């Protein structure tokens, strides 16, 4: 059961990174809101911690710079 939960969180993070790389979002909060709108029930949990939010924020900024 724990393994399935880990895979679900990883899938949500992977989707968050993909959304961030589109350039449509300004920060990790906006990406989290997009995940929630897409129906990811574990969006907030998947983005817990500074590392994930920082990585998403960096991807947002890099995508908007192009």
Q: Where are the beta strands (DSSP E) in the chain?
A: none
- Per-block mean pLDDT, blocks of 10 residues, the chain (66 long): 80 97 96 98 93 95 91
- Our count of domains for the chain comes to 1
Q: How far, in whole angstroms, is CA 63 from its chain's centroid?
A: 14
pTM: 0.90
Q: Tell me, what's the pLDDT at 66? A: 77
Using DSSP's 3-state secondary structure scheme, residue 26 falls into coil
Q: In this structure, how many other beta carbons lie within 10 angstroms of the beta carbon of residue 17?
A: 14
Domain that holds residue 33: 2-65
Q: Tell me, what's the pLDDT at 29? A: 96
């Amino acid at each position: 059961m724990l393994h399935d939960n880990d895979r679900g969180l990883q899938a949500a993070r992977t989707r968050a990174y993909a959304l961030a790389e589109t350039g449509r979002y300004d920060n990790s909060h906006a990406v989290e809101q997009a995940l929630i709108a897409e129906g990811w029930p574990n969006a907030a949990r998947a983005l817990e911690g500074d590392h994930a939010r920082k990585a998403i924020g960096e991807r947002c900024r890099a995508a908007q710079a192009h």
